[in-house]
Amino acid sequence: MNKLDLLRYSALTEGLSWLALLFIAMPLKYYAAEPIYVKFVGMTHGILFIALFALLLQTFFEERLPQKEAVKIFIASFIPFGTFFTDKSLRELIAEEKSVKVKS
């Protein structure tokens, strides 16, 4: 598994944790008086977000990820469902990279 694959899976996992925080943990906190879920889901999401950002920087500098793509992924990580929209362009970059390796 190369860094772009890892970045893609990391972005999807971070996106799922963001959705779990917004649409499961937060409603449980306010409508069911169960704040403990926000603590655990929020901490998990925070760790995944930091990991995504670190991996994004590493991929940007080591794999020559285009700046436009890196900025797009970073901004999308703040928007609910955002990382799912960047998945298509990441899949295209991965396919492009694999085709270049096959030709070499």
- What is this structure's pTM? 0.89
Q: Quick one: pLDDT at residue 104?
A: 63
Q: Quick one: pLDDT at residue 25?
A: 97
Question: For each of the chain's 104 residues, which pLDDT tens digit applies?
Answer: 789 999 999 999 999 999 999 999 999 999 999 999 999 999 999 999 999 999 999 999 998 889 999 999 999 999 989 999 999 999 999 998 888 777 76
From CA 68, how far away is CA 104, in angstroms rounded?
26
